[in-house]
Protein backbone atom coordinates (compact mmCIF):
# COMPACT_ATOMS: atom_id res chain seq x y z
CA UNK A 1 0.00 0.00 0.00
CA UNK A 2 2.77 2.36 0.90
CA UNK A 3 4.46 1.68 -2.41
CA UNK A 4 1.25 2.50 -4.26
CA UNK A 5 0.98 5.84 -2.44
CA UNK A 6 4.57 6.68 -3.26
CA UNK A 7 4.04 5.77 -6.89
CA UNK A 8 0.86 7.83 -7.05
CA UNK A 9 2.60 10.77 -5.48
CA UNK A 10 5.48 10.47 -7.90
CA UNK A 11 3.10 10.29 -10.83
CA UNK A 12 1.19 13.34 -9.58
CA UNK A 13 4.40 15.25 -9.07
CA UNK A 14 5.61 14.34 -12.52
CA UNK A 15 2.29 15.41 -14.00
CA UNK A 16 2.46 18.71 -12.13
CA UNK A 17 6.00 19.29 -13.34
CA UNK A 18 4.95 18.43 -16.86
CA UNK A 19 2.00 20.81 -16.73
CA UNK A 20 4.19 23.54 -15.24
CA UNK A 21 6.73 22.95 -17.97
CA UNK A 22 4.05 23.24 -20.65
CA UNK A 23 2.72 26.43 -19.09
CA UNK A 24 6.21 27.83 -18.78
CA UNK A 25 6.87 27.14 -22.46
CA UNK A 26 3.56 28.76 -23.38
CA UNK A 27 4.28 31.80 -21.24
CA UNK A 28 7.73 32.06 -22.73
CA UNK A 29 6.36 31.85 -26.25
CA UNK A 30 3.69 34.41 -25.37
CA UNK A 31 6.32 36.79 -24.01
CA UNK A 32 8.41 36.27 -27.13
CA UNK A 33 5.41 37.04 -29.35
CA UNK A 34 4.69 40.15 -27.34
CA UNK A 35 8.29 41.28 -27.52
CA UNK A 36 8.36 40.77 -31.28
CA UNK A 37 5.19 42.84 -31.54
CA UNK A 38 6.81 45.54 -29.40
CA UNK A 39 9.76 45.56 -31.78
CA UNK A 40 7.43 45.77 -34.78
CA UNK A 41 5.62 48.78 -33.31
CA UNK A 42 8.95 50.43 -32.60
CA UNK A 43 10.35 49.75 -36.09
CA UNK A 44 7.22 51.07 -37.80
CA UNK A 45 7.22 54.18 -35.64
CA UNK A 46 10.89 54.81 -36.41
CA UNK A 47 10.25 54.35 -40.12
CA UNK A 48 7.27 56.72 -40.11
CA UNK A 49 9.29 59.37 -38.22
CA UNK A 50 12.38 59.10 -40.41
CA UNK A 51 13.86 62.37 -41.66
CA UNK A 52 16.51 61.55 -44.28
CA UNK A 53 18.20 64.52 -45.92
CA UNK A 54 16.08 64.37 -49.12
CA UNK A 55 12.90 64.64 -47.03
CA UNK A 56 14.39 67.54 -45.09
CA UNK A 57 15.07 69.36 -48.35
CA UNK A 58 11.49 68.74 -49.47
CA UNK A 59 10.29 70.32 -46.23
CA UNK A 60 12.67 73.26 -46.64
CA UNK A 61 11.60 73.94 -50.22
CA UNK A 62 7.92 73.67 -49.29
CA UNK A 63 8.48 76.24 -46.56
CA UNK A 64 10.18 78.58 -49.05
CA UNK A 65 7.23 78.22 -51.41
CA UNK A 66 4.70 78.95 -48.68
CA UNK A 67 6.73 81.95 -47.52
CA UNK A 68 6.74 83.39 -51.03
CA UNK A 69 3.01 82.82 -51.42
CA UNK A 70 2.23 84.36 -48.05
CA UNK A 71 4.22 87.48 -48.85
CA UNK A 72 2.60 87.95 -52.25
CA UNK A 73 -1.00 86.84 -51.70
CA UNK A 74 -2.16 85.57 -48.34
CA UNK A 75 -5.51 84.49 -49.74
CA UNK A 76 -3.76 81.63 -51.52
CA UNK A 77 -2.35 79.94 -48.44
CA UNK A 78 -3.26 78.97 -44.89
CA UNK A 79 0.30 79.79 -43.85
CA UNK A 80 -0.05 83.47 -43.00
CA UNK A 81 3.00 85.49 -41.96
CA UNK A 82 2.89 89.00 -40.50
CA UNK A 83 5.35 91.86 -40.73
CA UNK A 84 6.65 93.34 -37.52
CA UNK A 85 5.20 96.81 -37.29
CA UNK A 86 8.17 98.19 -35.44
CA UNK A 87 10.20 100.36 -37.77
CA UNK A 88 13.67 99.53 -36.57
CA UNK A 89 16.07 97.09 -35.00
CA UNK A 90 18.97 98.28 -32.83
CA UNK A 91 22.16 99.43 -34.54
CA UNK A 92 24.62 98.26 -31.92
CA UNK A 93 25.54 101.82 -30.97
CA UNK A 94 22.90 102.24 -28.26
CA UNK A 95 24.34 102.57 -24.78
CA UNK A 96 22.90 103.08 -21.35
CA UNK A 97 20.55 101.52 -18.83
CA UNK A 98 17.37 99.99 -20.22
CA UNK A 99 14.30 98.34 -18.76
CA UNK A 100 12.13 95.62 -20.22
CA UNK A 101 9.01 93.56 -19.53
CA UNK A 102 8.39 90.06 -20.86
CA UNK A 103 4.75 89.14 -20.35
CA UNK A 104 3.86 85.45 -20.20
CA UNK A 105 0.60 83.64 -19.56
CA UNK A 106 0.38 84.02 -15.79
CA UNK A 107 3.61 85.78 -14.87
CA UNK A 108 6.03 88.36 -16.23
CA UNK A 109 9.71 89.16 -16.11
CA UNK A 110 11.07 92.58 -15.19
CA UNK A 111 14.53 93.23 -16.57
CA UNK A 112 17.16 95.90 -16.16
CA UNK A 113 20.48 95.87 -17.98
CA UNK A 114 23.21 98.14 -19.24
CA UNK A 115 24.31 98.15 -22.85
CA UNK A 116 27.79 99.37 -23.73
CA UNK A 117 27.84 98.98 -27.49
CA UNK A 118 28.06 95.96 -29.76
CA UNK A 119 31.68 95.25 -28.87
CA UNK A 120 30.83 94.74 -25.20
CA UNK A 121 28.63 92.21 -23.47
CA UNK A 122 25.39 93.15 -21.76
CA UNK A 123 26.14 93.98 -18.12
CA UNK A 124 24.39 94.65 -14.81
CA UNK A 125 21.56 92.37 -15.90
CA UNK A 126 18.85 91.96 -13.28
CA UNK A 127 15.85 89.75 -13.86
CA UNK A 128 12.86 89.29 -11.55
CA UNK A 129 9.97 86.93 -12.22
CA UNK A 130 6.62 88.00 -10.79
CA UNK A 131 3.53 85.76 -10.71
CA UNK A 132 0.26 87.47 -11.52
CA UNK A 133 -2.34 86.79 -8.81
CA UNK A 134 -5.50 84.92 -9.89
CA UNK A 135 -7.71 87.84 -8.87
CA UNK A 136 -5.74 90.11 -11.21
CA UNK A 137 -5.84 87.56 -14.02
CA UNK A 138 -9.59 87.30 -13.67
CA UNK A 139 -9.97 91.06 -14.03
CA UNK A 140 -9.41 93.35 -16.99
CA UNK A 141 -6.28 94.15 -18.95
CA UNK A 142 -6.21 97.46 -17.09
CA UNK A 143 -5.91 95.54 -13.82
CA UNK A 144 -3.08 93.43 -15.24
CA UNK A 145 -1.08 96.40 -16.49
CA UNK A 146 -1.69 98.34 -13.30
CA UNK A 147 -0.25 95.40 -11.35
CA UNK A 148 2.76 95.24 -13.68
CA UNK A 149 3.38 98.99 -13.34
CA UNK A 150 3.14 98.77 -9.54
CA UNK A 151 5.76 96.02 -9.40
CA UNK A 152 7.91 97.80 -11.97
CA UNK A 153 7.90 100.97 -9.86
CA UNK A 154 9.28 98.99 -6.93
CA UNK A 155 11.83 97.30 -9.19
CA UNK A 156 13.04 100.65 -10.53
CA UNK A 157 13.45 102.20 -7.10
CA UNK A 158 15.89 99.43 -6.18
CA UNK A 159 19.35 100.94 -6.62
CA UNK A 160 17.74 103.97 -8.24
CA UNK A 161 20.58 106.25 -7.17
CA UNK A 162 23.18 104.06 -8.84
CA UNK A 163 20.97 103.34 -11.86
CA UNK A 164 18.71 106.31 -12.56
CA UNK A 165 16.36 106.00 -15.51
CA UNK A 166 16.72 108.37 -18.42
CA UNK A 167 13.98 111.00 -18.66
CA UNK A 168 11.30 109.96 -21.15
CA UNK A 169 13.11 106.68 -21.62
CA UNK A 170 11.73 103.69 -23.47
CA UNK A 171 10.45 100.50 -21.91
CA UNK A 172 10.81 97.40 -24.03
CA UNK A 173 7.72 95.21 -23.88
CA UNK A 174 7.68 91.70 -25.32
CA UNK A 175 4.80 89.26 -25.20
CA UNK A 176 5.03 85.49 -25.34
CA UNK A 177 1.88 84.96 -27.38
CA UNK A 178 0.69 86.28 -30.77
CA UNK A 179 0.03 89.95 -31.35
CA UNK A 180 -1.56 91.79 -34.25
CA UNK A 181 -0.87 95.50 -34.15
CA UNK A 182 -3.28 98.21 -35.25
CA UNK A 183 -3.23 100.08 -38.54
CA UNK A 184 -2.36 103.57 -37.34
CA UNK A 185 0.69 103.13 -35.14
CA UNK A 186 2.99 100.46 -33.77
CA UNK A 187 1.89 101.50 -30.29
CA UNK A 188 -1.55 100.04 -30.91
CA UNK A 189 -0.91 96.41 -30.22
CA UNK A 190 -4.02 94.25 -30.38
CA UNK A 191 -4.27 90.84 -28.83
CA UNK A 192 -5.34 88.00 -31.09
CA UNK A 193 -5.74 85.57 -28.22
CA UNK A 194 -4.94 86.16 -24.59
CA UNK A 195 -5.96 82.67 -23.74
CA UNK A 196 -4.57 82.19 -20.28
CA UNK A 197 -6.00 85.35 -18.82
CA UNK A 198 -9.66 84.84 -19.48
CA UNK A 199 -9.88 88.62 -19.75
CA UNK A 200 -13.18 89.37 -21.41
CA UNK A 201 -12.20 92.73 -22.87
CA UNK A 202 -8.77 91.82 -24.27
CA UNK A 203 -9.69 91.65 -27.95
CA UNK A 204 -9.18 94.97 -29.64
CA UNK A 205 -7.54 96.67 -26.66
CA UNK A 206 -4.77 99.08 -27.40
CA UNK A 207 -2.44 97.44 -24.96
CA UNK A 208 0.48 99.81 -25.35
CA UNK A 209 -1.79 102.74 -24.54
CA UNK A 210 -3.03 101.00 -21.41
CA UNK A 211 0.51 100.15 -20.37
CA UNK A 212 1.56 103.78 -20.73
CA UNK A 213 -1.44 104.95 -18.71
CA UNK A 214 -0.46 102.54 -15.94
CA UNK A 215 3.15 103.72 -16.03
CA UNK A 216 2.07 107.35 -15.74
CA UNK A 217 -0.29 106.49 -12.88
CA UNK A 218 2.59 105.04 -10.87
CA UNK A 219 4.99 107.86 -11.68
CA UNK A 220 7.26 105.87 -13.97
CA UNK A 221 8.97 108.09 -16.52
CA UNK A 222 9.11 105.42 -19.20
CA UNK A 223 7.06 104.88 -22.34
CA UNK A 224 6.23 101.77 -24.33
CA UNK A 225 6.71 102.41 -28.04
CA UNK A 226 5.58 99.02 -29.26
CA UNK A 227 4.42 95.63 -28.13
CA UNK A 228 6.28 92.91 -29.98
CA UNK A 229 6.49 89.16 -29.98
CA UNK A 230 9.21 87.81 -27.69
CA UNK A 231 10.94 86.11 -30.62
CA UNK A 232 11.29 89.50 -32.29
CA UNK A 233 12.95 90.69 -29.11
CA UNK A 234 15.55 87.98 -29.49
CA UNK A 235 16.15 89.00 -33.08
CA UNK A 236 16.70 92.54 -31.81
CA UNK A 237 19.27 91.21 -29.37
CA UNK A 238 21.06 89.36 -32.12
CA UNK A 239 21.07 92.35 -34.45
CA UNK A 240 22.47 94.59 -31.73
CA UNK A 241 25.69 92.57 -31.64
CA UNK A 242 25.84 91.37 -35.22
CA UNK A 243 24.23 92.78 -38.35
CA UNK A 244 24.50 89.33 -39.90
CA UNK A 245 21.74 88.15 -37.55
CA UNK A 246 18.77 87.68 -39.84
CA UNK A 247 16.48 85.31 -37.93
CA UNK A 248 15.43 84.13 -34.50
CA UNK A 249 13.66 80.94 -33.49
CA UNK A 250 11.84 79.97 -30.32
CA UNK A 251 11.92 76.30 -29.33
CA UNK A 252 10.12 76.04 -26.04
CA UNK A 253 6.79 74.48 -25.21
CA UNK A 254 5.63 76.06 -28.44
CA UNK A 255 7.59 77.46 -31.35
CA UNK A 256 7.91 80.45 -33.65
CA UNK A 257 10.37 82.06 -36.03
CA UNK A 258 10.98 85.59 -37.25
CA UNK A 259 13.36 86.82 -39.92
CA UNK A 260 14.47 89.97 -41.72
CA UNK A 261 13.02 90.32 -45.22
CA UNK A 262 13.82 92.77 -48.01
CA UNK A 263 11.08 95.37 -48.10
CA UNK A 264 10.87 95.28 -51.89
CA UNK A 265 9.38 91.76 -51.89
CA UNK A 266 6.56 92.84 -49.56
CA UNK A 267 3.54 94.46 -51.22
CA UNK A 268 3.56 98.16 -50.27
CA UNK A 269 6.78 97.58 -48.37
CA UNK A 270 8.64 100.41 -50.08
CA UNK A 271 6.00 102.88 -48.99
CA UNK A 272 7.52 102.86 -45.53
CA UNK A 273 10.96 103.91 -46.78
CA UNK A 274 12.59 100.89 -45.18
CA UNK A 275 15.06 98.57 -46.84
CA UNK A 276 14.11 95.68 -44.55
CA UNK A 277 11.15 94.55 -42.49
CA UNK A 278 10.89 91.89 -39.82
CA UNK A 279 8.47 89.07 -40.63
CA UNK A 280 6.73 87.15 -37.86
CA UNK A 281 6.35 83.75 -39.50
CA UNK A 282 4.15 81.96 -36.97
CA UNK A 283 5.77 78.86 -38.42
CA UNK A 284 3.87 76.59 -36.06
CA UNK A 285 1.11 76.85 -38.69
CA UNK A 286 3.35 75.46 -41.44
CA UNK A 287 2.19 72.23 -43.01
CA UNK A 288 3.27 70.11 -45.96
CA UNK A 289 2.61 66.53 -47.14
CA UNK A 290 6.32 65.90 -46.64
CA UNK A 291 6.08 66.18 -42.85
CA UNK A 292 6.60 62.72 -41.30
CA UNK A 293 3.23 62.38 -39.54
CA UNK A 294 2.42 59.11 -37.78
CA UNK A 295 -0.80 57.54 -36.49
CA UNK A 296 0.05 58.92 -33.06
CA UNK A 297 0.39 62.47 -34.38
CA UNK A 298 -2.92 62.19 -36.20
CA UNK A 299 -4.64 60.99 -33.03
CA UNK A 300 -3.06 63.79 -31.01
CA UNK A 301 -4.19 66.34 -33.57
CA UNK A 302 -7.75 65.04 -33.82
CA UNK A 303 -8.15 65.22 -30.04
CA UNK A 304 -6.61 68.68 -29.72
CA UNK A 305 -8.51 71.96 -29.40
CA UNK A 306 -7.39 72.98 -32.91
CA UNK A 307 -7.48 69.88 -35.14
CA UNK A 308 -5.80 70.41 -38.47
CA UNK A 309 -3.98 73.52 -37.28
CA UNK A 310 -0.39 74.13 -36.17
CA UNK A 311 0.80 70.73 -37.36
CA UNK A 312 4.44 71.80 -37.48
CA UNK A 313 4.28 72.92 -33.87
CA UNK A 314 2.74 69.60 -32.89
CA UNK A 315 5.80 67.85 -34.30
CA UNK A 316 8.53 70.03 -32.79
CA UNK A 317 7.02 71.92 -29.84
CA UNK A 318 7.99 70.89 -26.33
CA UNK A 319 4.33 70.72 -25.36
CA UNK A 320 3.81 67.76 -27.66
CA UNK A 321 7.01 65.71 -27.69
CA UNK A 322 6.30 63.92 -24.43
CA UNK A 323 2.68 63.38 -25.40
CA UNK A 324 3.69 61.53 -28.57
CA UNK A 325 6.00 59.32 -26.50
CA UNK A 326 3.17 58.60 -24.08
CA UNK A 327 0.86 57.55 -26.90
CA UNK A 328 3.41 55.12 -28.29
CA UNK A 329 3.97 53.62 -24.84
CA UNK A 330 0.21 53.32 -24.33
CA UNK A 331 -0.17 51.36 -27.57
CA UNK A 332 2.60 49.00 -26.48
CA UNK A 333 1.09 48.63 -23.02
CA UNK A 334 -2.27 47.69 -24.50
CA UNK A 335 -1.06 45.40 -27.28
CA UNK A 336 2.10 43.86 -25.86
CA UNK A 337 1.76 44.27 -22.07
CA UNK A 338 5.16 45.95 -21.96
CA UNK A 339 4.40 47.21 -18.44
CA UNK A 340 2.50 44.15 -17.22
CA UNK A 341 -0.90 42.59 -17.67
CA UNK A 342 -2.68 45.74 -16.51
CA UNK A 343 -2.23 49.05 -18.30
CA UNK A 344 -0.94 51.64 -15.80
CA UNK A 345 -3.85 54.05 -15.20
CA UNK A 346 -1.69 57.19 -15.35
CA UNK A 347 -0.39 56.14 -18.74
CA UNK A 348 -3.91 56.73 -20.07
CA UNK A 349 -3.94 60.39 -19.04
CA UNK A 350 -2.98 62.85 -21.82
CA UNK A 351 -0.10 65.29 -21.38
CA UNK A 352 1.26 63.68 -18.22
CA UNK A 353 4.72 63.18 -19.73
CA UNK A 354 6.39 66.57 -19.99
CA UNK A 355 9.34 67.24 -22.24
CA UNK A 356 11.74 67.74 -19.29
CA UNK A 357 10.94 64.23 -18.07
CA UNK A 358 11.29 62.89 -21.58
CA UNK A 359 14.68 64.56 -21.90
CA UNK A 360 15.82 63.10 -18.59
CA UNK A 361 14.94 59.58 -19.77
CA UNK A 362 16.44 60.12 -23.19
CA UNK A 363 19.73 61.43 -21.82
CA UNK A 364 20.06 58.77 -19.12
CA UNK A 365 23.56 57.32 -19.47
CA UNK A 366 23.50 54.95 -16.50
CA UNK A 367 24.20 51.30 -17.26
CA UNK A 368 20.71 50.08 -16.35
CA UNK A 369 18.83 53.23 -17.35
CA UNK A 370 18.06 54.00 -13.73
CA UNK A 371 16.71 57.47 -14.54
CA UNK A 372 14.24 55.93 -16.97
CA UNK A 373 12.90 53.72 -14.19
CA UNK A 374 12.70 56.68 -11.80
CA UNK A 375 10.72 58.77 -14.29
CA UNK A 376 8.38 55.90 -15.20
CA UNK A 377 7.59 55.53 -11.52
CA UNK A 378 7.29 59.27 -10.90
CA UNK A 379 5.15 60.08 -13.93
CA UNK A 380 3.14 56.91 -14.58
CA UNK A 381 3.39 54.96 -11.34
CA UNK A 382 5.14 52.06 -13.08
CA UNK A 383 6.96 50.29 -10.28
CA UNK A 384 9.14 47.78 -12.10
CA UNK A 385 10.55 47.33 -15.60
CA UNK A 386 13.31 45.30 -17.18
CA UNK A 387 16.43 46.92 -18.66
CA UNK A 388 15.18 45.91 -22.12
CA UNK A 389 11.92 47.78 -21.61
CA UNK A 390 13.81 50.84 -20.42
CA UNK A 391 15.89 50.73 -23.58
CA UNK A 392 12.67 50.72 -25.62
CA UNK A 393 11.42 53.79 -23.73
CA UNK A 394 14.69 55.64 -24.33
CA UNK A 395 14.63 54.72 -28.01
CA UNK A 396 11.10 56.09 -28.44
CA UNK A 397 12.26 59.34 -26.85
CA UNK A 398 15.18 59.41 -29.26
CA UNK A 399 12.96 58.92 -32.32
CA UNK A 400 10.59 61.72 -31.31
CA UNK A 401 13.36 64.16 -30.38
CA UNK A 402 15.38 63.47 -33.51
CA UNK A 403 12.41 64.04 -35.78
CA UNK A 404 11.47 67.33 -34.12
CA UNK A 405 15.00 68.70 -34.04
CA UNK A 406 15.78 67.79 -37.64
CA UNK A 407 12.55 69.34 -38.89
CA UNK A 408 13.40 72.54 -37.03
CA UNK A 409 16.86 72.51 -38.60
CA UNK A 410 15.38 71.98 -42.06
CA UNK A 411 13.11 75.00 -41.69
CA UNK A 412 16.00 77.15 -40.48
CA UNK A 413 17.80 76.19 -43.68
CA UNK A 414 14.59 77.02 -45.57
CA UNK A 415 14.56 80.56 -44.16
CA UNK A 416 18.17 81.06 -45.19
CA UNK A 417 17.36 79.66 -48.64
CA UNK A 418 14.49 82.11 -49.01
CA UNK A 419 16.81 84.98 -48.16
CA UNK A 420 19.51 83.75 -50.54
CA UNK A 421 22.09 83.66 -47.78
CA UNK A 422 23.42 80.11 -47.97
CA UNK A 423 25.99 80.13 -50.76
CA UNK A 424 27.79 83.43 -50.28
CA UNK A 425 26.77 85.14 -47.04
CA UNK A 426 27.25 84.14 -43.44
CA UNK A 427 24.11 84.40 -41.37
CA UNK A 428 23.42 84.25 -37.66
CA UNK A 429 20.25 82.63 -36.32
CA UNK A 430 19.23 83.04 -32.70
CA UNK A 431 17.62 79.93 -31.23
CA UNK A 432 16.03 80.23 -27.82
CA UNK A 433 13.71 78.26 -25.61
CA UNK A 434 13.85 75.77 -22.77
CA UNK A 435 13.61 72.85 -25.17
CA UNK A 436 16.70 74.00 -27.02
CA UNK A 437 18.52 75.12 -23.90
CA UNK A 438 18.13 72.07 -21.70
CA UNK A 439 17.62 69.18 -24.11
CA UNK A 440 21.21 68.56 -25.18
CA UNK A 441 20.47 65.66 -27.56
CA UNK A 442 17.70 67.66 -29.24
CA UNK A 443 20.09 70.55 -29.72
CA UNK A 444 22.74 68.28 -31.20
CA UNK A 445 20.28 66.73 -33.63
CA UNK A 446 19.25 70.20 -34.80
CA UNK A 447 22.86 71.16 -35.43
CA UNK A 448 23.67 67.95 -37.25
CA UNK A 449 20.67 68.31 -39.56
CA UNK A 450 21.95 71.68 -40.75
CA UNK A 451 25.39 70.20 -41.38
CA UNK A 452 23.97 67.21 -43.24
CA UNK A 453 21.81 69.41 -45.48
CA UNK A 454 24.45 71.98 -46.33
CA UNK A 455 27.63 69.94 -46.17
CA UNK A 456 30.98 71.02 -44.77
CA UNK A 457 31.52 73.67 -47.43
CA UNK A 458 28.35 75.66 -46.67
CA UNK A 459 27.32 74.75 -43.13
CA UNK A 460 29.58 77.43 -41.65
CA UNK A 461 27.45 80.03 -43.44
CA UNK A 462 24.57 79.32 -41.04
CA UNK A 463 25.58 79.99 -37.45
CA UNK A 464 23.24 79.19 -34.57
CA UNK A 465 24.15 81.23 -31.54
CA UNK A 466 23.14 81.71 -27.95
CA UNK A 467 20.76 84.58 -27.32
CA UNK A 468 22.23 87.42 -25.33
CA UNK A 469 21.04 87.79 -21.76
CA UNK A 470 18.88 84.69 -21.53
CA UNK A 471 15.16 84.48 -20.96
CA UNK A 472 13.18 87.62 -21.76
CA UNK A 473 16.25 89.77 -22.39
CA UNK A 474 15.00 90.66 -25.87
CA UNK A 475 12.85 93.34 -24.21
CA UNK A 476 16.04 95.22 -23.28
CA UNK A 477 17.13 95.40 -26.91
CA UNK A 478 13.65 96.44 -28.04
CA UNK A 479 13.89 99.35 -25.61
CA UNK A 480 17.30 100.25 -27.02
CA UNK A 481 15.99 100.19 -30.58
CA UNK A 482 13.08 102.46 -29.75
CA UNK A 483 15.18 104.88 -27.74
CA UNK A 484 16.17 106.67 -30.93
CA UNK A 485 13.26 105.84 -33.19
CA UNK A 486 9.88 107.53 -33.10
CA UNK A 487 8.63 106.52 -36.51
CA UNK A 488 5.38 104.69 -36.94
CA UNK A 489 4.31 102.71 -39.94
CA UNK A 490 1.14 101.23 -41.27
CA UNK A 491 1.18 97.44 -41.43
CA UNK A 492 0.98 96.50 -45.09
CA UNK A 493 -1.04 93.40 -44.27
CA UNK A 494 -3.49 95.03 -41.90
CA UNK A 495 -6.02 95.85 -44.59
CA UNK A 496 -5.41 92.90 -46.90
CA UNK A 497 -7.54 89.77 -46.63
CA UNK A 498 -9.20 88.55 -43.49
CA UNK A 499 -6.22 87.32 -41.54
CA UNK A 500 -7.55 88.06 -38.10
CA UNK A 501 -9.97 85.17 -38.22
CA UNK A 502 -7.16 82.76 -38.93
CA UNK A 503 -4.97 84.38 -36.32
CA UNK A 504 -7.65 83.74 -33.70
CA UNK A 505 -6.66 80.11 -33.92
CA UNK A 506 -3.05 80.80 -33.04
CA UNK A 507 -1.82 79.57 -29.72
CA UNK A 508 0.50 81.63 -27.61
CA UNK A 509 3.95 80.39 -26.90
CA UNK A 510 6.23 79.70 -24.02
CA UNK A 511 9.56 81.49 -24.37
CA UNK A 512 12.50 80.52 -22.19
CA UNK A 513 15.79 80.63 -23.89
CA UNK A 514 19.38 79.79 -24.76
CA UNK A 515 21.33 79.22 -27.95
CA UNK A 516 24.46 77.46 -29.16
CA UNK A 517 26.68 77.82 -32.20
CA UNK A 518 26.34 75.03 -34.75
CA UNK A 519 28.96 72.36 -34.22
CA UNK A 520 30.04 73.67 -30.85
CA UNK A 521 30.93 70.91 -28.42
CA UNK A 522 29.11 70.49 -25.16
CA UNK A 523 32.34 71.04 -23.27
CA UNK A 524 32.51 74.60 -24.53
CA UNK A 525 28.91 75.48 -23.85
CA UNK A 526 28.02 78.14 -21.32
CA UNK A 527 26.76 76.91 -17.95
CA UNK A 528 23.00 77.04 -17.58
CA UNK A 529 21.61 80.24 -16.13
CA UNK A 530 19.27 79.42 -13.28
CA UNK A 531 16.87 82.14 -14.31
CA UNK A 532 16.64 80.60 -17.78
CA UNK A 533 15.46 77.28 -16.37
CA UNK A 534 11.82 78.28 -16.16
CA UNK A 535 10.86 75.77 -18.81
CA UNK A 536 11.75 72.95 -16.44
CA UNK A 537 9.80 74.20 -13.44
CA UNK A 538 6.74 72.21 -12.52
CA UNK A 539 3.54 73.98 -13.47
CA UNK A 540 5.37 77.02 -14.91
CA UNK A 541 3.86 78.16 -18.22
CA UNK A 542 2.76 74.57 -18.71
CA UNK A 543 -0.35 75.61 -20.61
CA UNK A 544 1.35 77.84 -23.14
CA UNK A 545 0.62 76.25 -26.47
CA UNK A 546 -2.21 73.83 -25.81
CA UNK A 547 -3.62 74.54 -22.38
CA UNK A 548 -7.12 73.64 -23.36
CA UNK A 549 -5.92 70.23 -24.47
CA UNK A 550 -4.76 69.53 -20.95
CA UNK A 551 -7.74 70.93 -19.14
CA UNK A 552 -10.12 69.29 -21.56
CA UNK A 553 -8.42 65.93 -21.54
CA UNK A 554 -7.94 65.30 -17.85
CA UNK A 555 -10.14 62.26 -18.03
CA UNK A 556 -8.26 59.08 -18.81
CA UNK A 557 -8.24 57.61 -22.28
CA UNK A 558 -10.28 54.51 -22.74
pLDDT band at 311 (very low <50, low <70, confident <90, very high): very high
Q: Which of 9-23, 79-93, 374-388, 402-416 has the lowest mean pLDDT?
A: 9-23
Predicted local distance difference test score (pLDDT) of residue 481: 87
pLDDT at residue 265 is higher than 50? yes
Predicted local distance difference test score (pLDDT) of residue 553: 44
Query: Average pLDDT for residues 145-154, to the nearest whole number?
Result: 93
Predicted local distance difference test score (pLDDT) of residue 201: 29
Helix (H/G/I), strand (E/B), else coil: 100 = strand
Degrees, nearest 5: CA angle 84-279-481 = 45
pLDDT at residue 246 is higher than 90? yes
**Angstrom distance (rounded) from CA 345 to CA 261:** 50
Helix (H/G/I), strand (E/B), else coil: 242 = coil
CB of 176 closer than 8 Å to CB of 237: no
Query: Average pLDDT for residues 464-475, to the nearest whole number?
Result: 81
**Angstrom distance (rounded) from CA 354 to CA 148:** 30
DSSP designation for 167: T
User: In this structure, how many other beta carbons lie within 10 angstroms of the beta carbon of residue 457?
Assistant: 8
Question: What are the DSSP calls for 51-98, one per residue?
Answer: --HHHHHHHHHHHHHHHHHHHH-GGG-S---EE--------S--EEEE
Predicted local distance difference test score (pLDDT) of residue 44: 97
Query: Average pLDDT for residues 508-524, to the nearest whole number?
Result: 36
Q: Tell me the percentage of the chain whose pLDDT exceeds 70.
A: 73
Q: What are the angstrom distances between the C-alpha of 377 and each of 313, 320, 346, 357, 384?
A: 29, 21, 10, 11, 8
**Angstrom distance (rounded) from CA 67 to CA 11:** 81
Predicted local distance difference test score (pLDDT) of residue 166: 62
CB of 408 closer than 8 Å to CB of 255: yes
Q: How far apart are the first and last CA of the chain?
A: 60
Of residues 91 and 360, the one with the higher pLDDT is 360
pTM summary value? 0.80
pLDDT at residue 229 is higher than 90? no
Amino acid sequence: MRKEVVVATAVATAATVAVAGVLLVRWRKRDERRWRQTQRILRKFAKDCATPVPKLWHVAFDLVSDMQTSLSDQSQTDFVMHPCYTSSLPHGTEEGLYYGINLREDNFLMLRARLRGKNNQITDLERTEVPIPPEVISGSTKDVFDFIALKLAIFITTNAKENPIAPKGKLGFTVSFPLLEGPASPTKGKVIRWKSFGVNDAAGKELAHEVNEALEKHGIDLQVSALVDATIGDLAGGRYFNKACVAAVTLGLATNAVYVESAHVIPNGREFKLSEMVIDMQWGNFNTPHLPITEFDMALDSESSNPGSRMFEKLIGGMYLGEVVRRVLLKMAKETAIFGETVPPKLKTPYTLRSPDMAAMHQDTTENRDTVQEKLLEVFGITSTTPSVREIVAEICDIVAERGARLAGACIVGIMKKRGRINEKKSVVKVEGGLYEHYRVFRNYLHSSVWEMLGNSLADNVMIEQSHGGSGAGAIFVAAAHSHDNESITPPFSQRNSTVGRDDQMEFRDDHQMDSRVGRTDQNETADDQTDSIFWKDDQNESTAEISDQSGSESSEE
